[in-house]
Amino acid sequence: MVRNSNGRSSPDRRARRAVATREAILRAAAGVFRNRGFAETGMREIAAAADLSPGNLYYYFKSKADILYFCQDHSVNRMLATMKHLGRTQPSAEQLRQVIAAHLLCTLDELDGAAAHTEVESLPADLRRKIVAKRDRYERAVRRIVAEGMTRGAFVDGDPVLTTRAILGALNWTTRWYRPGGKLPPQAVADAFANYLVRGLAA
Partner DNA sequence: TATGAATGAGATTTCATTCAT
Partner DNA sequence: TATGAATGAAATCTCATTCAT
Q: Which of residues 64-123 bind a copy of itself (CB under 8 A)?
A: 119, 121-122
Sign of the C-alpha dihedral, residues 130, 133, 135, 141?
negative
SS3 (DSSP) at 124: coil
With CB under 5 to 8 Å by kind, the binding choice for 172 among DNA, a copy of itself, none is a copy of itself
* Nearest C-alpha neighbor of 76 from the set 166, 161, 142, 147: 142
Q: Is 128 a binder of a copy of itself (CB under 8 A)?
A: no
* Nearest C-alpha neighbor of 156 from the set 114, 104, 98, 199: 199
Q: Annotate each residue in 9-48 with x if it binds DNA (CB under 7 A) or - if it does not, as one string.
A: x----xx-xx--x------------------xxxxx----
CB proximity list for 33: less than 8 A, separation 6 or greater: 41, 68, 71, 114, 115, 119
Residue 76 contacts residue 168 (beta carbons within 8 Å): no
Beta carbon nearer to a copy of itself, 23 or 139: 139
From 62, 88, 140, 152, residue interacting with DNA (rule: CB under 7 A): 62
* Nearest C-alpha neighbor of 139 from the set 80, 196, 181: 80
Q: Is 59 a binder of DNA (CB under 7 A)?
A: yes
Give me the least distance between CB of 35 and a copy of itself, in Å please.
Answer: 8
Q: Is 21 a binder of a copy of itself (CB under 8 A)?
A: no
Count of positions (residues) in the chain: 203
Residue 109 is which amino acid? Answer: D
Residue 118 contacts residue 174 (beta carbons within 8 Å): no
With CB under 5 to 8 Å by kind, the binding choice for 58 among DNA, a copy of itself, none is DNA
Give me the least distance between CB of 120 and DNA, in Å please.
Answer: 17
Q: Is 26 a binder of a copy of itself (CB under 8 A)?
A: no
List of residues contacting DNA (CB under 7 A): 1, 3, 7-9, 14-15, 17-18, 21, 40-44, 52-56, 58-60, 62-65
List of residues contacting a copy of itself (CB under 8 A): 35-40, 119, 121-122, 156, 158-159, 162-163, 165-174, 176-177, 188-189, 192-193, 195-201
